[in-house]
Structure 1
Amino acid sequence: MTSQKLSFPRQHARTQRFTLGAPRAFTVSPDGTRVVFLRSDSGTDRTNRLRVLDTRTGEERVAADPEALLGGSAEKLSPQERARRERVRDGSAGIVGYAVDDAVELAAFALSGKVYVAELSAGTARALPVPGPVIDPRPSPDGRLVAYVTRGALRVVGAQGDGDRAVAEPEDPNTSYGLAEFVAAEEMSRYRGFWWSPESDRLLVARVDDSAVQRWWIADPAHPGSRPAEVGYPAAGTANAEVRLFVTDLDGGRTEVVWDRDRFPYLARVHWSAHGAPLLLVQARDQRSQLHLAVDTESGATRTVHADEDEIWLDLFAGVPAWAPDGRLVRIADEGGARVLSVGDRLLTGPRLHVVSVLDIGDSDILVSATAGGKAPDPETGQTHVYRVNELGVERVSEGVGVHSAVRAGGVTVLVSASPEHPGSVVRVVRDGRRIATVANLAQEPVLTARVRLTEGGARRIPCAVLLPTNYVESDGPLPVLMDPYGGPHGRRVVAAHNPHLTSQWFADQGFAVVVADGRGTPGRSPGWEKAIRDDFVLTLDDQVDALHALAERFPLDLSKVAMRGWSYGGYLSALAVLRRPDVFHAAVVGAPVADWRLYDTHYTERYLGDPAARPEVYADNALVTDEGLSRPAGTVRPMMIVHGLADDNVVVAHALRLSSALLSAGRPHEVLPLSGVTHMTPQEQVAENLLLLQVDFLRRSLGLPRA
């Protein structure tokens, strides 16, 4: 096989971290006869095709092929579509997302700026004659219409291409209808801005006005003739976009939805189903209070269904809030130190489960994703399972050690399972507990095997993963250590799956003992574990140190040669390690770090650190560059390699430049590796491959290790 001739860095880059060829984005028809999903044709093919699996026969067919629909022409992406894909971190091509009607008979998707629809039973697909470039087309529940956004306007067209018209048009260049604002897409996981009524006769439409949002310019210094891109970036303490919501008729008539937007400016979730009135979740800017609101679609008035308060912060969860079929509110709540499933006024789970998301709400049960709650025992480290929950109890659906997720409808469940023992994931289609089909995974098999040991370290039982060189034997003695964390909010790295540890194993095979630790602030354990870092990100570094020292008692770790590498929050943590604890860490690879939290966005940063105007000392204490850190004696100055994409519009390159400038002023040695044309992702094959190789070279030089 050609893949066997590739080095791991090249294969890892070429396969986009082994995601190409893996099926994703599953939908099950309400009669259980069809499973719709996306997958490319191989482990190196970026072009996703829309596919349908017949659960009665197990046969699979292509419902929409981008190459055929485009006639072999290259795909063209608008700047808005590129920005949307950056928010969801999608580096693939072709059909990267789709939406369906209630019957799962009609699918709509955007391709090269145009609207396409596919009749899933008939197997036909076609473009609709509408203006573009198009964002986020979605069929009405009855399948007769398709709504879509173009140039900030929400439009509706018949599924046969007839009757195209605008239902909401922007008043000026700073307003848009039907799109999610930056912080909603980047931080709230709300990627859409319009929602169909169950009767297909109206829509809820978000209006975004970002005229008050400060403007930044993202330049490409490698191409000085190119004009910088202007972006509205709501940095901590500055103005957010104004978001309003309208009940909008198909003829353009509209009624504004009214709530206290001054107190609750964040529109975090919208749910509209046949089981009740439209349901909103709105948050205060400090995210310590939120309201679940039911909307009167005739008057636009709202009533409070439930209110939440938390003295630290309130989290957002996938799949909720929503109505159960009997009209009760389904939500995930932090109660009694546990994260639990609540239906109406009843808590259906307890402290033994830490509920992560709601996957499906059925007539007699609710399907959830959850981890072991509280202080999980060592055997449960890194696992996520699927459970059926109702008032009679809790039943685990997924089997075996691993990370599991699911989609369900029509009595059919699609279970996606990854384990530490095998690469990739297995997709099983199950009815009544019996497998009726398997969805093929065409991702390449890695040229190396991750040999991960999942364990815990320190008095706080910090979840850890340890990887040693493939051929390591005890007589080889202690190994230089590479800490390889994300280590912060939203990012769980210690998981009971194979592929997430492949890069760590590759670094281990270069002669390191690699340690991944999920300290306080990381998800999946308990609300208290996540919220311990309020006002103090340095706690995440303390846990890395504690895990390192605890594991050194059981594993061959040479504590005289310890480095850390990371990206994004992991990059911040790596820089923090050598600046604050040079007694422990001797070198760092610092990828896309947040050097100054005043330059990061509102919804994320203010949740953890508050308002920078009211609490400047908190921001100063958590910044990378402090007088204390820069005044270390010369003997404790540690080398760092700072890596940053110049096109990054999430963690802008100003962070790396300001960090480098401060280090230079203090006479501290460091290297800067600018990545031209690279965003917060690094999907470019050559860049991703060489970035791994350059990191190893830097680590060897910095720790005084021989070159390979």
Structure 2
Amino acid sequence: MDAESADCKLSWSELKNVVTDLRRQLSSLSTMVPTNVSFRQLHDGRTRIYFLSTPQNGWESTLLFADVPNENPNASLTLQWHCVIESNFPTVSASIRYSREEQLLWERKRLATWGINWYEIHSASGKIVFPANSSLFQCIDNGYSAGPLFPTKLRISTASGAKLNPQICPSNPDLVAYICNQDIWVAHTVSGCNERLTYAHKGGRNLADDPLCAGVPSYVMQEEFSRYQGYWWQPTCALGVYRILYEEIDDGDVKIFCFPSSQSDPSGEVEEFRFPRAGCANSKSYLKLIEFRISDTQQITDIVMLELQFSVNTLFPWTEYIVRAGWTPDSEYIWVQLLDRRQKHLELVLLSLSNFTEVLPMYDEGTNSDIGNPMVQVIYAEESCAWVNVHDLLVFLPGASDNQVQFIWASEETGFRHLYLVTAQLMPYTNGISEPMDHVSLHPKLLQKVALTHGDWEVLAQDIWVDVEREVVYFMGLRETVLEKHLYVVSLRRPGEVRLLTRTGYSYQCDFNDECSMLVTVYSNIENIPACQVFKVTHTDWTVEGVQLTPLGYLLESGPPLNKKYCPDLFTHTIESGHTLYAMVFKPHGFQQGKQYPTILNVYGGPEVQLVSNAFKGMRQLRMHMLAARGYCVVAIDSRGSQHRGIEFESYLRGRMGTVELVDQVEVLKWLASSLGYVDLRRVAIHGWSYGGYLSLMGLVQHPDVFKLAIAGAPVTNWMLYDTGYTERYMDLPENNQQGYDEGSVLNYINKFPEEENRLLIIHGLIDENVHFYHTSQLINSMVKAGKPYQLQIYPNERHSLRHLDASKHYETTLLSFLQNHL
């Protein structure tokens, strides 16, 4: 289909065929990029790399491996992919009706619903565990097997309900913990012994009477803080005692909402969800500990449930969220990150194991000598005038002297996220009789805090890799340009000396093995589809200049250059405020110089997202490519408030979402039109999903002279209806910013929507549990009362993402039809 197609009116049936044809044509943009990479050293010195991808001629994701030879590195070698699992293993079954818990986990993690989308491997033993078909499966890769393995189902709980989030015990791979029906279970995979460890959830049909769960983070923790883990194995087993730290969630104060059940549910009943709207009660979170032993007959015995003597909420009454938790590598301490409700104050706290007890003691005078010194110590505190961006950049280092702890941490105190080497003092251990509060320190005692990186650029929030022996830290950052993610290294011995390890002109994703001796990197740019290369990491000396990357081969070679019509152009513009903004423009495929084209502004515009970068725009941008193929010019702009530009740039939206974003979008759009000459400003549609759907509505209200049409997908219409974690971070609590909530509500601008027909199309999944359909129903109810025209497309069986192929194709046909008929 060429660019002339935009001016050619097609019937619905013809457009359906166009969508099918375009999906087939655009399949060349789909790449089998390895994800979820793990490393394992084999007996003969080879390194085996495990990853998830889609094998050639396959259609669903599976677990694969490639072996890296231990000698004679060959930079041009293409490493052979092998299936870990037999190809006829049924990862998808038509007879399986997936549980709501599985569906919601896929939504929170943004995972695909077909094939294997997650696995866990125990490197020393080769044991692999993964969820599929609502159950758990295992296999053992001994490193010698010539063919693929056929997994066996774990002998686990016979209780109904999906088995989710399995974790192999680090010190004993025979033990696998998992979640079933909102509680933690553990299985001994050799003896077949299964034990339910927690009894928080009753499993009743009445949600109101069953508010507790164990090992499962709250909705807000998963959706807004990207923590999907609610229990943590102790790294080592001491004296035969296994321990699991876990989080118990009490949703009793969180309001219940009812949605229509999915169409795949034959009961036709409503689904109940707990959802904390802005300003309302959140889930309560409690840290607890389980201890158990393994008998001589490999049975799970001596299960003990322990609770904190000093609860987090007692010592830190300001705490609203436990955003991160885990164990120190030596298993001596539990660490937690605590965040207040307004998300401006965060503390990193160490808890000794003696904080946990079976029975809360009564502290009468003279009876507290066997408390066991339950140390509670704040080792770091963070403040922000905007908000604290929670990250995963925390590594505890071994070898600190007595009564000290040393760790690598990231802070945005300079306005940009950077790495710091922190040394904090711990309270001395005493054996004498003492008061309980003698072992509580609520103020960090920092002995040293050294900036490892600095500058007006950002260290990315997800991964750092520390080579403890050589005292170097590898990390991802944006020092060269905000448009490219690169790998860097810095030495703990020479802080501030940062060395770039990857090539400019590309954007990278990286994974290291535990020893930091091997690296897998996926890289691409705007014109080249992703390639995946393996490198050996060596050192000529202890400095960052001594780090050497030797190519060992490719997991995925870069393909031939794509047709330029699939490659958008990148643009830079300095707006009136003095800020530099970036834009991306997809030309119509049949582009002709001197002609103006109808244009789609594809908008997101909210925080935590960057649309424009020098990375390949593949199937994730399917609809942008589809529109360009149909003869539309497609524009995407990262306005102030977007990600990776520092806290000041991001906080442009603070307290005033929906009132300022479109000023930047329109200014850059008009600049592009005047600079390029082929953007037809008389025919511009604004289209987006979620926050982008919200701004699409606001665009038609605030700039009806600029946007002829708006297509709003799953739009927020009133921030009072959205969740606490996201909304309050950027808008504060409603009681502190009522004006901002009022001005940011689409519902307060109904009279400003145009009177002309066919200018507004709203699209929403009926069972969307993220942006509830109630947002749209409130909007259309107000539109009806005001006599305003609109079109509405509902997908009864879809949540926030359109996951079914038939719904996606119907939506794309609807989009093309609306645009061709009215733009």
Gaps of 5+ in 1: 704-708
Q: Secondary structure at the match of 1:335?
A: coil
Indicate conservation of the 8 Å contact 1:13/1:685, yes or no.
no
What are the Cα deviations for residues 485-538 of structure 1, in whole angstroms up to 9, with x where unaligned? 211112211121221545323323333222100111111111111111101112
Is residue 313 of structure 1 aligned with residue 313 of structure 2? no
Equivalent in the alignment of 1:706: none
Stretch of structure 1 that moved more, 217-226 or 114-123: 217-226
Task: Return the offset for 1:225.
Answer: 5.6
Equivalent in the alignment of 1:595: 717
Is residue 341 of structure 1 aligned with residue 419 of structure 2? yes
Is residue 136 of structure 1 aligned with residue 165 of structure 2? yes
Give distance in 2, aligned partners of 1:385 and 1:616: 41
Is residue 304 of structure 1 aligned with residue 378 of structure 2? yes
Alignment of 1:658-677 (within 5 A): 658-677=778-797
TM (norm. structure 2) is 0.78
Give distance in 1, aligned partners of 2:751 and 2:484: 40
Task: Return the offset for 1:211.
Answer: 1.7
What letter corresponds to residue 320 of structure 1 in structure 2? L
Gaps of 5+ in 2: 1-15, 71-78, 203-209, 293-301, 357-374, 400-404, 423-448, 538-548
Match of 1:328 among 385, 402, 406: 406
Equivalent in the alignment of 2:246: 205
Equivalent in the alignment of 2:735: 613
What are the Cα deviations for residues 171-207 of structure 1, in whole angstroms up to 9, with x where unaligned? 5432111111111111110011111111142111111
What letter corresponds to residue 287 of structure 1 in structure 2? Q
Alignment of 1:502-521 (within 5 A): 502-521=622-641
Q: Secondary structure at the match of 1:474?
A: coil
Structure 1 residues 110 and 502, CA gap change in structure 2 (3 angstroms): closer
Indicate conservation of the 8 Å contact 2:693/2:714, yes or no.
yes
Q: Secondary structure at the match of 1:620?
A: helix
Structure 1 residues 566 and 337, CA gap change in structure 2 (3 angstroms): same
Q: Secondary structure at the match of 2:319?
A: coil
Equivalent in the alignment of 2:700: 578
Match of 1:249 among 282, 286, 291: 291
Task: Return the offset for 1:73.
Answer: 7.2
Match of 1:187 among 221, 224, 236: 224
Is residue 651 of structure 1 aligned with residue 798 of structure 2? no
Equivalent in the alignment of 2:536: 431
Give distance in 2, aligned partners of 1:511 and 1:381: 30
Alignment of 1:372-451 (within 5 A): 372=479, 380=481, 382-391=483-492, 392=494, 393-409=497-513, 410=515, 411-423=517-529, 425-432=530-537, 433-440=549-556, 449-451=565-567
Structure 1 residues 518 and 631, CA gap change in structure 2 (3 angstroms): closer
Structure 1 residues 447 and 213, CA gap change in structure 2 (3 angstroms): farther
Structure 1 residues 501 and 153, CA gap change in structure 2 (3 angstroms): closer
Give distance in 2, aligned partners of 1:14 and 1:136: 37
Task: Return the offset for 1:12.
Answer: 4.3
Task: Return the offset for 1:237.
Answer: 1.3
Give distance in 1, aligned partners of 2:792 and 2:94: 39
Stretch of structure 1 that moved more, 609-618 or 648-657: 609-618
Structure 1 residues 555 and 638, CA gap change in structure 2 (3 angstroms): farther
Stretch of structure 1 that moved more, 58-67 or 184-193: 58-67
Is residue 231 of structure 1 aligned with residue 350 of structure 2? no
What letter corresponds to residue 55 of structure 1 in structure 2? V
Stretch of structure 1 that moved more, 134-143 or 680-689: 680-689
Equivalent in the alignment of 2:47: 33
Is residue 259 of structure 1 aligned with residue 312 of structure 2? yes
Task: Return the offset for 1:660.
Answer: 1.6
Give distance in 2, aligned partners of 1:234 and 1:17: 42
Task: Return the offset for 1:231.
Answer: 0.9
Equivalent in the alignment of 1:55: 68
Task: Return the offset for 1:163.
Answer: 2.9
Equivalent in the alignment of 1:160: 190
Is residue 542 of structure 1 aligned with residue 634 of structure 2? no
Match of 2:597 among 479, 484, 491: 479
Q: Secondary structure at the match of 1:607?
A: helix
Task: Return the offset for 1:371.
Answer: 1.7
Structure 1 residues 381 and 481, CA gap change in structure 2 (3 angstroms): farther
What letter corresponds to residue 488 of structure 1 in structure 2? G
Structure 1 residues 221 and 213, CA gap change in structure 2 (3 angstroms): same
Q: Secondary structure at the match of 1:231?
A: strand
Stretch of structure 1 that moved more, 30-39 or 12-21: 12-21
Structure 1 residues 130 and 24, CA gap change in structure 2 (3 angstroms): same
Give distance in 1, aligned partners of 2:257 and 2:642: 30
Match of 1:630 among 737, 751, 770: 751
Rg (Cα) greater in structure: 2
Q: Secondary structure at the match of 1:617?
A: helix
Stretch of structure 1 that moved more, 205-214 or 24-33: 24-33
Task: Return the offset for 1:592.
Answer: 0.3
Task: Return the offset for 1:228.
Answer: 0.9
TM (norm. structure 1) is 0.90
Indicate conservation of the 8 Å contact 1:329/1:343, yes or no.
yes
What letter corresponds to residue 195 of structure 1 in structure 2? W
Give distance in 1, aligned partners of 2:342 and 2:24: 39
Structure 1 residues 11 and 24, CA gap change in structure 2 (3 angstroms): farther
Tell me how many residue pairs correspond in the alignment.
687
Give distance in 2, aligned partners of 1:26 and 1:147: 22
Stretch of structure 1 that moved more, 219-228 or 509-518: 219-228
Structure 1 residues 692 and 527, CA gap change in structure 2 (3 angstroms): same
Indicate conservation of the 8 Å contact 1:7/1:447, yes or no.
no
Give distance in 2, aligned partners of 1:614 and 1:148: 41
Alpha-carbon RMSD across the aligned residues, in angstroms, is 2.9
What letter corresponds to residue 393 of structure 2 in structure 1? V
Task: Return the offset for 1:649.
Answer: 0.7
